[in-house]
């Protein structure tokens, strides 16, 4: 059954707000409020009463169609609709009745990829192009296809306050953020991607609401609870049926009405729920019941395999891989980096086990506890690895990228990239990473007045363990210039080291797709260890693939000295052919006898 064939009744279970009826000339307005005695809807300056129904429900059908603007009136107080499908004037303004069935899909039979076929490319609509719109981002999709990307992951688009932001302070979860474009623009973006063979995933935030523009509690305080608390205030009460349906209905909307291929769930460790069935399990169950290859990914630092094996999610963002690579290259040990030693030996342990922490004590100040469980039951695609993402760049004081660190060389970045894209785990790239973009990605938002000051100061306190927040001139998140600085400079990708890095990524992604061994998406047959040369300390990393299709070996020189490839001290015989050298010419691989790996360089052997 395709998305368009899902029975309409199933799609309407949680449709509070305004719902255009099948005749397209009438709209049903429905409100649930435990606070209000009298509920009306204001359309064109005129108020229309909603009939009180059992269980605090109010409803009316009016002869208005798509494009109608409205507000709800609760006991005389005008309020935006928290279930609005579009808020053209922002989260504090009128909602617009939207016909979600009006868009003419050009590729209705798209079914989506398996997770093992995904190479994720995380992008932020507002900074991906100079225009910062969905239409402009759509024009760049052929570039991503030609690069070798198979799945675009869009940072949150649910409506949030102001004219710019990361999107993690969303407050109207059903309404696409108006500055990016209208609902049909978002549909066209997804449709165009499918036409190019690209899946599209959406980052969603179901663990908190932003501090400005969340009107749910004005309708009923029951949406939230004091049983749980988050860094942003009261916890969401998933035991409340309407909050639960708000979340599950939102997931269904993105996947059915907008035809996203999957969702990335932000900070699932903060989705606290004491219901008989955890909200994550219900989300996974409902999403997979839609058919096709709808996928659910968790951002979760806890290293809990049961998120996949028991809760039914499909994959987990693995912090350990990013942190271990970063500490190896930078030597940083501030904050959560204090839980990692870095180096080839610990990297090898991580690759052999899937993640590093599987029950060991996490000795990071303020978070001391046993962390993780063994991941023996998970296959390679369920591990989402990256060497950069929006958080790990944006949570730095200056929003600087990996190559900007004074202790990291260009060769090391390209060596790390070779490791990332050779592994059978699911890789994720952050926008511009493939050409080693020179633009930062600092945190930015558009909260005015005292709230803006509080947000800026809050981030300084949240990341106080990173010395840069107290010693550097941190860009003010509220200044428009901070946002503008994050916009990609597309022209630079054709220049110097940017162009060389882009060529490497294109080659690696082609090999990942076409090489019969590197296309093997299994941890079985994957092993890793360390090497030295002529009795030197073992500081290099080797990774070996032994599959039914053959053998491949990666060597990454993490020593401070050049290493002739034929002198690598490995516990097995090195294949004689050079498949790729991270600093070489992809069209003319260097013979093994002539290849020397300089510090930071990597090579694949076949």
Query: Distance (Å, rounded) from C-alpha 323 to C-alpha 327?
Result: 6
Q: Where are the beta strands (DSSP E) in 442-512?
A: none
Query: Distance (Å, rounded) from C-alpha 61 to C-alpha 27?
Result: 6
Question: Of the residues 237, 257, 261, 299, which is catalytic?
Answer: 299
SS3 315: strand
Within 10 A of 592 (CB to CB), how many other CB atoms are there? 17
Cα→Cα distances 14→8, 83, 213, Å: 12, 9, 21
Contact 497, 438 (CB under 8 A): no
DSSP H or E run through 499: helix 496-514
User: Angle CA(370)–CA(374)–CA(380) in degrees, nearest 5?
Assistant: 135
Query: Distance (Å, rounded) from C-alpha 344 to C-alpha 334?
Result: 20
Query: Distance (Å, rounded) from C-alpha 599 to C-alpha 540?
Result: 10
SS3 368: coil
Contact 159, 178 (CB under 8 A): yes
DSSP H or E run through 507: helix 496-514
Question: Of the residues 94, 122, 257, 266, which is catalytic?
Answer: 266
Tell me, yes or no, if 169 is annotated catalytic. no
Query: Distance (Å, rounded) from C-alpha 79 to C-alpha 73?
Result: 6
Cα→Cα distances 208→169, 171, 205, 247, Å: 8, 9, 7, 11
Query: Distance (Å, rounded) from C-alpha 350 to C-alpha 331?
Result: 17
Q: Tokens in use for 528? A: 């890793």
Tell me, yes or no, if 492 is annotated catalytic. no
Q: Name the residues annotated as catalytic.
A: 266, 299
């Amino acid at each position: 059954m395709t998305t368009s064939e899902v029975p309409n009744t199933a799609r309407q279970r949680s449709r509070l707000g305004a719902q255009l009826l099948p005749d397209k000339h009438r709209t049903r307005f429905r409100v649930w409020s435990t606070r209000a005695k009298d509920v009306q809807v204001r359309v064109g300056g005129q108020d229309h009463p909603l009939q009180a129904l059992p269980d605090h429900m109010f409803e009316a059908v009016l002869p208005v169609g798509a494009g109608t603007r409205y507000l709800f009136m609760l006991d005389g107080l005008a309020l935006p609709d928290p279930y609005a499908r579009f808020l053209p004037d922002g989260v504090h303004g009128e909602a617009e009745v939207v016909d979600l069935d009006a868009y003419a899909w050009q590729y209705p039979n798209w079914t989506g990829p398996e997770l093992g076929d995904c190479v994720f490319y995380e992008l932020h609509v507002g900074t991906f192009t100079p225009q910062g719109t969905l239409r402009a981002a759509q024009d760049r999709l052929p570039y991503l296809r030609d690069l070798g990307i198979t799945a675009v992951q869009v940072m949150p688009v649910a409506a949030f306050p102001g004219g710019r932001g990361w999107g993690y302070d969303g407050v109207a979860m059903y309404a696409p953020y108006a500055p990016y474009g209208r609902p049909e623009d978002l549909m066209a973006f997804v449709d165009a991607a499918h036409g190019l063979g690209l899946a599209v995933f959406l980052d969603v935030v179901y663990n908190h609401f932003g501090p400005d523009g969340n009107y749910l509690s004005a309708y009923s305080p029951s949406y939230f609870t004091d049983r749980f608390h988050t860094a942003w205030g009261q916890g969401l009460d998933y035991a409340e049926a309407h909050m639960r349906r708000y979340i599950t209905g939102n997931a269904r909307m993105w996947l059915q009405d907008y035809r996203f291929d999957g969702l990335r769930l932000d900070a699932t460790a903060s989705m606290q729920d004491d219901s008989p069935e955890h909200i994550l399990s219900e989300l996974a169950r409902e999403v997979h019941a839609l058919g096709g290859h709808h996928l659910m990914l968790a951002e979760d630092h806890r290293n809990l395999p049961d998120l996949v094996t028991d809760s039914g999610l499909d994959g987990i963002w693995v912090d350990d891989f990013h942190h271990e690579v970063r500490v190896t290259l930078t030597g940083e040990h501030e904050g959560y980096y204090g839980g990692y030693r870095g180096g080839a030996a610990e990297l090898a342990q991580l690759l052999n086990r899937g993640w590093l922490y599987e029950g060991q004590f996490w000795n990071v100040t303020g978070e001391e506890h046993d962390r993780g469980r063994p991941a023996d039951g998970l296959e390679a695609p369920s591990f989402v690895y990256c060497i950069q993402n929006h958080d790990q760049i944006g949570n730095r004081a200056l929003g600087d990228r990996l190559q900007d660190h004074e202790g990291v060389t260009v060769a090391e970045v390209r060596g790390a990239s070779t490791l990332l894209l050779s592994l059978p785990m699911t890789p994720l790239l952050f926008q511009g990473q493939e050409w080693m973009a020179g633009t930062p990605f600092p945190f930015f938002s558009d909260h005015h007045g005292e709230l803006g000051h509080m947000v800026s100061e809050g981030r300084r306190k949240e990341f106080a363990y990173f010395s840069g927040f107290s010693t550097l001139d941190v860009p003010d998140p509220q200044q428009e210039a901070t946002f503008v600085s994050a916009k990609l400079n597309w022209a630079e990708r054709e220049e110097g080291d940017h162009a060389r890095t882009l060529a490497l990524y294109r080659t690696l992604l082609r090999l990942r797709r076409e090489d019969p061994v590197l296309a093997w998406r299994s941890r079985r047959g994957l092993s890793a260890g360390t090497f030295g040369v002529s009795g030197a300390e073992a500081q290099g990393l080797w990774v070996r693939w032994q599959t039914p299709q053959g053998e491949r070996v990666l060597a990454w020189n993490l020593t401070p000295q050049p290493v002739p490839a034929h002198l690598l001290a490995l516990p097995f015989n090195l294949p004689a052919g050079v498949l790729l050298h991270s600093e070489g010419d992809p069209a003319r691989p260097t013979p093994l006898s002539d290849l020397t790996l300089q510090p930071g360089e990597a090579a694949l052997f076949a």
